[in-house]
Amino acid sequence: MRNATRGRCLCLVAALATAAACVPLQAQIVSSLVTGDRVRVFTPSLSREGVVGMIVGRAPDTLTILSAEHSDTVIVPLSELTRLELSKGRHRNGLKGMVIGLLLGAAGGAIAGRASGDDRGWGDTASQKELSDAVACGVAGLIIGGTIGSNSETEDWVVIRPLSGSRLSVAPRSDHRLAVAYSVAFSQRHRSY
């Protein structure tokens, strides 16, 4: 019985020590950002899409962001922060558009060529028409997709603060003991919008 109590105490002390070591996590996030960084922040009090803007000021407990949409400053308390994303830059999607256009055009052309069947008396079989239509429509799709893609710009975002952050959980177990769990989630996911 005494060993079980000692083990529970050690687990609780370890969990609390880990929690204490992770308290400066918000300060670490702020110190890794610099004035001029383009960020997207999410808090319960802000819009569902978050606020996109440039960091114009920082303190150990807040970020000041110049909103790109409204040209006003927003002060974000780090205690309310649910997610923070850092922009890795913008790029055009010409190559992606070309690939999608080529594939869709070739597939559509092949289906249309096959569906038109054999030409009696003209000499083109359905297989020949399938191939020629796939090539012709694929080239057209390549050009159209490339044009659309090169006029489309996306921004790449990296999540630098997870939704959940850290969590300390205490739950009763069926054998009348307590279970203590402390979790910290760190992630860096690449997003493109």
12 against 117, higher pLDDT: 117
- pLDDT over threshold 60, residue 167: no
According to the model, what pLDDT value does residue 10 have? 55
Mean pLDDT, residues 64-85 taken together: 85
Which band of pLDDT confidence, cut at 50, 70 and 90, is reported for residue 25?
Answer: very low
Tens of pLDDT, residue by residue over 34-56, are 888 899 888 888 777 788 899 99
pTM of the model: 0.51
Query: Looking at the predicted structure, is the pLDDT value of residue 84 above 90?
Result: no
Closest of 76, 96, 91 to residue 29, by C-alpha:
76
Kindly state the tokens that stand for 103: 């594939």
- Residue 188, pLDDT above cutoff 70: no
Instruction: Report DSSP letters for 65-115, one per residue.
Output: EEETTT-SEEEEEGGG-SEEEEEEEEEE-HHHHHHHHHHHHHHHHHHHHHH
